[in-house]
Amino acid sequence: MVNPCRKQIFNIYIGFYCSVIILPQMCICSHFSMPPSDQFNKDPGAFPVATNGEPFPWRELRLPSTVSPLHYDLFVHPNLTSLDFVASEKIEVLVRDATQFIILHSKDLEIMNATLHSEEDLRYRKPGKKLNVLSYLAHQQIALLVPEKLMADLRYYVAIDFQAKLADGFEGFYKSTYRTLGGETRTIAVTDFEPTEARMAFPCFDEPLFKANFSIKIRRESRHIALSNMPKVKTIELEGGLLEDHFETTVKMSTYLVAYIVCDFKSVSGTSSSGVKVSIYASPDKWNQTHYALEASLKLLDFYENYFDINYLLPKLDLVAIPDFASGAMENWGLITYRETSLLFDPKTSSASDKLWVTRVIAHELAHQWFGNLVTMEWWNDIWLNEGFANYMELISVNATYPELQFDNYFLDVCFEVIKRDSLNSSRPISNQAESPTQIQEMFDEVSYNKGACILNMLKDFLSEEKFQKGIIHYLKKFSFRNAKNEDLWSSLSNSCLEGGFTSGGFCYSDSKMTSNTLTFLGENVEVKEMMTPWTLQKGIPLVVVNQEGRLLRLRQERFLSRVFKEDPARSALQERYLWHIPLTYSTSSSNVIHRHILKSKTDTLDLPEKTSWVKFNVDSNGYYIVHYEGHGWDQLITQLNQNHTLFRPKDRIGLIHDAFQLVSAGRLTLDKALDLTHYLQHETSVLALLKGLRYLELFYHMMDRRNISDVTENLKHYLLRYFKPMIDAQSWSDEGSVWDRMLRSALLQLACYLNHAPCIRNATELFSQWMESSGKLNIPTDVLKIVYSVGAQTTAGWNSLLEHYELSMSGAEKNKILYALSTTKHQEKLMKLIELGMEGKVIKTQDFAPLLHAIARNPKGQQIAWNFVRENWTHLLKKFDLGSFAMRIIISGTTSHFSSKDELQEVKLFFESLKAQGSHLDIFQIVLETISKNIKWLEKNLPTLRTWLLVKI
């Protein structure tokens, strides 16, 4: 799955300015020493009560292992007029231990009939035995009680008839609508099951370990088509003009990957090098936006088949743009579903960043066809094995297939974003216990996605690309059609040495790294599992402290906490028992050689081969750690940046900027020193380094503006416009240049217009006037489109015209830009109107409400409106979004995490306490409270320094 401000999702890309402040093996065995049915018969009073008042024979959230599914025959008939469906299924099961009941998952389904057949019943055509069905809503489970005990090692067949309404939200089997160019509203039916919503569409063993084959039949009207995981085998004509499509039986897979759609979409198709038919589907009026996705999908599919040395295993691959979709995309095997903005590309309205996003999401979901679909995590505690790998493979695949997008540069931000979360005490380990559906939903966050990807990239850099690739191929082949856990990955990477490779203790090293500086460390018998286990089972990020004394380097590691200062009495307790095996890399002023060392203890020393004026750790920022240079370390680095910054690699310059400002948040470096470091940016040619420095300065401006600290706000505005003026004035209002030139243009001009820079406002106003005069038909350059719309939205006439155009636009990319622009108005009544339209869900779709509210909260005129709305409408919001959903987490963090006063902190704390009292609890509550506390501490410690520094500089 891809989250939207990341895939969430958090990389959710929504076209809005996402907030810079973020947001043990589980076996499937019974928990009882005796068989569960015997335990139930012995003491039924110890079990929960079913909806009919009878004892329910199972009390755990996880299903028992006594019965396993082998095959589902599933028939579904949705009615897109009455918005409901009728269905039936026959599940072939294998009984592993004798039992008198079968436990399945089921949610919001009306079970009309359930029968059981033995193999003998089917052989002699005997009638099935009617089953008594009990329901336990709290665990979303049903129990099928059998009249006679089911015997071990035998197969049985469970037949169930059921019906339900098409769901209103974004989970299970739900309805989605779209508007045609002619103004007609049409309805489709679509599934989205990850992580625990297959049970909303059919009774099933809805856990990833219960893999089975699925044979699916869908009944529909002739005006629609039906799609599912596999190709269609045949279509049968029925009475009344109905058609019934039969699909090939799937490969063995988990329930969350099952998918089917009934729609009237059109497609464009092509064939991969290995003969796989790839099709992109969209609503008819958006068919012309599907062609880039087809090109990218074919390229990426060919790449993955070669890279993994495993062919894509299905005959076809469909990618479908869904009008209403909660996340960025979902990797259903053979039928991948996407939010429209994650798949469709309109050359007239999609910017360079839009193109990068679409390419990334396609790469992410195609990677899942191997990581997640072919090999699936045993339980949701290890969802990072799916999502972290898919995020990592974005880097590898996009770099290889679209080098012009320079995604390698962007990947640094993937890691920097999660460090904000991971440096809080409220963070969590990558592999973390999750039992309830809400807890499982919360696992889909930046820790699973981004941190998972970053530690994989660090390991790849340590092992070498060749050895790492060989290891993951070994992992995929060994666990194909099976489930895996953390240690299975480390074992595969430990036992994947190439012929002639250097092996130490089962660990594989690259021959190219066997230099005089690495031989000693290579002989330390470090194994992958020993090195990597702390990175997945321990929360947080390490801080490596470096103290240079001549040719001697003194190193120590500690846990990095962004709001815990040295004088904090709780600091020592928060540091206890944290230890990583850190694969360090470093370079020096006297050599371009990359030196390597594993820091396995709290302290260590290194001898440099020669005298050097500076040393820089974490080469190319491939390591997941922050570095602090004690003594004169930072002064020496800043001096070098000012004298000749090109002696550092571009990524090292970005890393220095990032680490410096992170250290300020922990009280380890003064703000004026970090700001002094950015002074060299006037000579910087790396777009990424420029953007990194610009973002920190912009962050400080927004913080001052929201708090109405007017003198600092005004001085910072003058500094930004003066300091970046040559770069701003050099920008053309066009789509020319490389991808990153274009992104820099968008960032600089957006900042300039936000700060009311007269030339920027003048150019944007002129373009908007021309657009208005053309009745919205003028093609404005895509990279400045959001900027032009934002300036135009500041007048009542412009705002109204944009809202009208929003309703008519057929481009999701353009609609995102318009919605952002509308959210920047200074008129509070207009902001309230946007919220009302978002809650209504017609003009502004419900899927866009969370990012809309987030954008409004970032507007100083809207922050209180958004926060008040959440508090006053919490119950209404829960009717639209699941408690643990990405949308709710964005709503909570997006409207609160920018707060920076003690009064605001108290307000938020009281609100969260009231929610807990009502039974609502999320991990995001503590993350938000800690983030606000961090903001308060930052201002207390750094506001005077910022004020003084600006007075000197301007």
Check if the beta carbon of residue 218 is closer than 8 Å to that of residue 260. yes
C-alpha distance from residue 885 to each of 437, 882, 891, 917 (Å): 10, 5, 10, 20
C-alpha distance from residue 138 to each of 142, 586, 819 (Å): 11, 54, 39
Check if the beta carbon of residue 253 is closer than 8 Å to that of residue 211. yes
| Of the candidates 933, 695, 853, the residue with the CA atom closest to the CA atom of residue 20 | 695
CB atoms inside a 10 Å sphere around CB 482: 14
Number of helical H runs and strand E runs in the chain: 33, 31
**What does the alpha-carbon distance between residue 674 and residue 107 come to, in Å, rounded to a whole number?**
54
CB atoms inside a 10 Å sphere around CB 585: 19
**Residue 633 contacts by C-beta under 8 Å, 6 or more apart in sequence?**
546, 547, 548, 614, 615
**What does the alpha-carbon distance between residue 562 and residue 928 come to, in Å, rounded to a whole number?**
14
**What does the alpha-carbon distance between residue 764 and residue 753 come to, in Å, rounded to a whole number?**
8
Is 294 strand, coil or helix?
helix
Give the pairing type, strands 375-377 and 482-484. parallel
| Of the candidates 262, 131, 253, the residue with the CA atom closest to the CA atom of residue 190 | 262
**What does the alpha-carbon distance between residue 667 and residue 665 come to, in Å, rounded to a whole number?**
6
Check if the beta carbon of residue 178 is closer than 8 Å to that of residue 150. no
The residue whose two tokens read 């004169």 is 632
**What does the alpha-carbon distance between residue 877 and residue 897 come to, in Å, rounded to a whole number?**
19
Is 159 strand, coil or helix?
strand
Q: 147 exposed, middle or buried (CB, 10 Å; 0-12, 13-18, 19+)?
A: exposed
**Residue 183 contacts by C-beta under 8 Å, 6 or more apart in sequence?**
none
Rounded CA Rg of the chain? 29
**Token pair of 676, please?**
């002094």
The residue whose two tokens read 């099951």 is 193
| Of the candidates 237, 247, 242, 246, the residue with the CA atom closest to the CA atom of residue 221 | 242
Task: Give the ranges where 402-504 is alpha helix by DSSP (H).
Answer: 407-422, 437-442, 446, 452-463, 465-478, 486-494
Q: Choosing from 365, 378, 394, 442, which is the catalytic residue?
A: 365
Give the pairing type, strands 277-282 and 316-322. parallel
**DSSP secondary structure, 242-285, as one string:** -EEEEEPPPPSB-GGG--EEEE--EEEEEE-TTS-EEEEEE-GG
DSSP 700: H
| Of the candidates 589, 584, 703, 695, the residue with the CA atom closest to the CA atom of residue 645 | 589
Q: Which one-letter amino acid corresponds to residue 509?
A: Y
Check if the beta carbon of residue 290 is closer than 8 Å to that of residue 354. no
Is 648 strand, coil or helix?
coil
Q: Which one-letter amino acid corresponds to residue 482?
A: R
Is 87 strand, coil or helix?
strand
**Residue 752 contacts by C-beta under 8 Å, 6 or more apart in sequence?**
721, 724, 728, 759, 760
**Token pair of 225, please?**
């088509």
Told to judge if 365 belongs to the known catalytic residues of this protein, a careful annotator would answer: yes
**What does the alpha-carbon distance between residue 701 and residue 898 come to, in Å, rounded to a whole number?**
12
CB atoms inside a 10 Å sphere around CB 309: 12
Check if the beta carbon of residue 303 is closer than 8 Å to that of residue 359. no
Q: What is the set of active-site residues? A: 365
